Amino acid sequence: MGSLKPWLVVGLAPLAVATARADVYAFVDDDGTPRFTNVPDDPRYELLIRDPRAAPGGGSASRASVNPGLDRRPYHGAVRAAAERFRLDPALIHAVIEAESRYDPKAVSRKGAIGLMQVMPETGRRYGARPNELRVPERNIAIGAQYLAHLLWLFEGNVELALAGYNAGEQAVARHGQAIPPYAETKAYVPRVVGLWKSLGGR
């Protein structure tokens, strides 16, 4: 188990028996309580032990192994790592990068969004990253993917609402009755990213 923290090793024992031959995820709750599961329903969970039967990335992330075309995409190593960590389809991450920055790591929007996935500084701070860190492609992709995973969790797996939240903010989706906000930019953004996602093999 490599460099597992002692509290993880202690807390893992009963779960390892109960979830034999399954991925195990863990995080430390705000009150200091370690949490373990084989069904990560919160974006704070991180992979602790991988089921040896699973393809790399497991779940939707395993599509990276059946879509070799993604391997030729820029920054695919970082995308694949983020997809595995946050249980995302790598094709979806690539689609967001294409729509947001066209793979330009130096891109900065008029609103101040930074880098490949156009992460806002406040979103970066939410996940412990300073604005200058968002200029590092690997860090930018990890933060953007973590936020996207949060949105998918928040909107119960609805990709279109998650993308609307990524573009307009999760509060905007909530204000409009859990629907795509009627903003011209967002109404164009969501189908564009979905189209890119499908063209890259996403489902």
Residues 17-34 pLDDT 10s: 444 445 666 767 677 677
% of residues, the chain, pLDDT over 90: 64
The pLDDT value recorded for residue 60 is 43
DSSP for residue 54: S
Report all structural domains of the chain as residue ranges with CATH numbers, in order of start. 6-54 (no CATH), 61-199 (1.10.530.10)
Give catalytic residue positions: 100
Query: Quick one: average pLDDT of 43-51?
Result: 63
Q: Apex CA 155: angle with CA 152 and CA 161, to 5°?
A: 85
Rounded to the nearest 10 degrees, what angle do helices 76-86 and 137-154 cross at? 30
Which pTM value belongs to this model?
0.70
DSSP for residue 55: P
Q: Are strands 46-49 and 34-37 parallel, antiparallel or unpaired?
A: unpaired
Greater confidence, 58 or 29?
29
Is the per-residue pLDDT at 189 higher than 90?
A: yes
CA distance 162 to 168: 10
**Cβ(83)–Cβ(146) under 8 Å?**
no
**In the sheet where 34-37 sits, what is the strand order?**
34-37, 24-28, 46-49
- The first and second tokens of residue 194, run together, are 């979905």
Is the per-residue pLDDT at 52 higher than 90?
A: no
Query: Quick one: average pLDDT of 118-130?
Result: 95
Is residue 96 very low, low, confident or very high in pLDDT (cuts 50, 70, 90)?
A: very high
Residue 32's Cβ-side half-sphere holds a number of Cα atoms within 13 Å equal to 0
Greater confidence, 28 or 146?
146
